[in-house]
Structure 1
Amino acid sequence: MKSLVEDALSREGPGAAGMNVPGNIQDAMVDAELEQILRALRTNIKIIGLGGAGSNTIARIVDEGIVGAELYAANTDAQHLLVVHAPHKILLGRRITRGLGAGALPQVGEEAAREAEDDIKKALADAHICFITCGLGGGTGTGAAPVVARIAKEMGALTIAVCTLPFKGEGKMRMENAEWGLERLRETADTVVLIPNDKLLELVPKLSLNAAFKVADEVLMKSIKGLTEMITRPGLVNLDF
């Protein structure tokens, strides 16, 4: 048994024992054909972060690096959108908010997303899977997430929302906003993954609120990245879509 384990661990590359690296033209042609087939079968994944928390998550994913997904940050706050590190950006509600944010009003965020529906459709074109990420409780993410989920589903994408619930310390109004948005999001998204921020405080109770927000952003980023790369990266056990 020991020699069997040693043999297995000493192999170079993914090939089984007795399999040689292709060394002739025929093998090279087969490899080229396989690569072409895999390119055609590649799952098209779009990740869109909404509002301040969602845009911050996109920036963290960019910094961390991700395989096989297009990243978009969308916000009603033009100033935040300008400085956020994201490959693609969508300003929501040019007319209704004029780039000044949603004022913590989900109804404004909802209307802003409807106003930008054409831009959202362009971003989500040809997507097989759409991940939506935001922090529920504010204006933009809470109001826009159900609209984006509806658009993604209508375009044929599997729609998965990964969102945080606000800390109790953020106040009653933000929790009521979160419940308002969550109810609508569950009506439109295929799946909603919730991360209650207060649960994070139970794990690290001595953190300041500012530090807790950073931890929440990190958890949101890791969740999205992990779900995406289960599909886009080969592993010991592969996940089919």
Structure 2
Amino acid sequence: GGGNNTINRIAEVGITGAETIAVNTDAQDLLYTTADKKILLGKEITKGLGAGSDPKVGEAAAKEAEHEIKQALQGADMVFITCGLGGGTGTGSAPVIAEIAKKQGALTVGIVTIPFVMEGKKRYENAVIGLERMEQIVDTLIVIPNEKLLELAPDLPLHTAFKVADEILTNAVKGIAELVTKTGLVNLDFADVRAVMKEGGVALIGVGESDTDKRAIEAVEKALSNPLLNVDVSGANGALINVCGGPDMTLEEARTVVETISERLDEEARIIWGALISDDLAKTIRVMLIVTGVQSPQILGSTHKKTSQRKSEMENELGIEFID
């Protein structure tokens, strides 16, 4: 599914110091996934035929493979769990895997997509439930609303739009992991990343790049105005900034990026940043910004607000309280 496509893309681009683990209930899909380790979930329950878009099946399948998942995650400092929410396997198994990772002491980061509206109401409702469960478990949950990708490039064919989502998921994992694992112009250690992401809550990601003579300012403005980051960042509690540029990028340019973002955030917000030199970014600066501590209703938009509103109306009418 969605997560395995990202794993394939990660295998293609390569991430320093990271190991990839593909998990799926669909044996055939798993066969065509490139990963360091593979785990077939729910051998008994699904017989390798997928979860049939039912998150309960995905959850049961992950619980059946709990021992294998525990072994695979043994000793990990940080675990990224990436999936497309809305279907059966990702929505059902991701919270189970997140809980295992968290119990084993890993800093646990979920990176998930919310389905396109055209994928249907049921898929969207599944995604909302999955999102809320993930939010309760992981340290930081980076959310990519697919619908916003259409704003980035409205004329994209659908399969290309999904590829763009994979690309953003991959860049998020690579951008965070390599701040720690790769030697750069300005490095971070794992404690820095943990400090921002330990209780990060819901997070959004913005990416921008520029190759003009004002590239530092332009790249950061593009990252901040990225449709995926459709939120007022001034209320965020933290930010992780990765500035990437060619061999000609100066430390001064990297500082400009960080200062520009700092000015937009709350003065109490915890900001960490790193700068990496990449040979394939000649004359270009790319900024990846992850803003933590965002309110999730802003991500889910009006539908979610309506549901919450309707719920509180019913609570008032019936004199009962729903337990989430």
TM over 0.5: yes
How many Å apart are 1:236 and its aligned residue?
1.6
How many Å apart are 1:235 and its aligned residue?
1.6
**Residues 76-132 of structure 1 deviation map (CA, whole Å, 9 limit, x = unaligned):** 000000111222100000011010000011111011000000000000001111110
Q: Distance in 1 between matches of 2:115 and 2:107?
A: 26
User: Paired residue for 1:163, among 99, 112, 116?
Assistant: 112
Answer yes or no: is 1:92 the counterpart of 2:37: no
User: Paired residue for 2:122, among 173, 185, 188?
Assistant: 173
* Structure with higher RCO (Cα < 8 A, 6+ apart): 1
User: Paired residue for 2:136, among 169, 180, 187?
Assistant: 187
Per residue, is there more strand in 1 or in 2? 2
User: Paired residue for 1:131, among 69, 80, 84?
Assistant: 80
**Residues 181-201 of structure 1 deviation map (CA, whole Å, 9 limit, x = unaligned):** 111111111110001111111
Answer yes or no: is 1:111 the counterpart of 2:111: no
Q: Distance in 2 between matches of 1:169 and 1:231?
A: 38
The residue number in structure 1 matching 2:14 is 65
How many Å apart are 1:136 and its aligned residue?
0.6
Between Structure 1 and Structure 2, whose CA radius of gyration is higher? 1
Three-state SS of the structure 1 residue aligned to 2:5 is: helix
The residue number in structure 1 matching 2:31 is 82
Q: Distance in 2 between matches of 1:55 and 1:62?
A: 10
The residue number in structure 1 matching 2:69 is 120
How many Å apart are 1:222 and its aligned residue?
1.2
Q: Distance in 1 between matches of 2:167 and 2:78?
A: 22
**Residues 130-188 of structure 1 deviation map (CA, whole Å, 9 limit, x = unaligned):** 11000011110111111001000110111000111101111111110101111111111
**Residues 41-61 of structure 1 deviation map (CA, whole Å, 9 limit, x = unaligned):** xxxxxxxxxxx1111111111
Q: Distance in 1 between matches of 2:118 and 2:170?
A: 22
How many Å apart are 1:239 and its aligned residue?
1.0
Query: Over aligned residues, Cα RMSD in angstroms?
Result: 0.8
Q: Distance in 1 between matches of 2:128 and 2:52?
A: 17
How many Å apart are 1:216 and its aligned residue?
1.1
Three-state SS of the structure 1 residue aligned to 2:111 is: strand
The amino acid of 1:157's aligned partner reads: A
Three-state SS of the structure 2 residue aligned to 1:73 is: strand
Instruction: In structure 1, list runs of 5 or more residues that go unmatched.
Output: 1-51
Answer yes or no: is 1:234 the counterpart of 2:234: no
The residue number in structure 1 matching 2:156 is 207
How many Å apart are 1:208 and its aligned residue?
1.6
Three-state SS of the structure 2 residue aligned to 1:216 is: helix
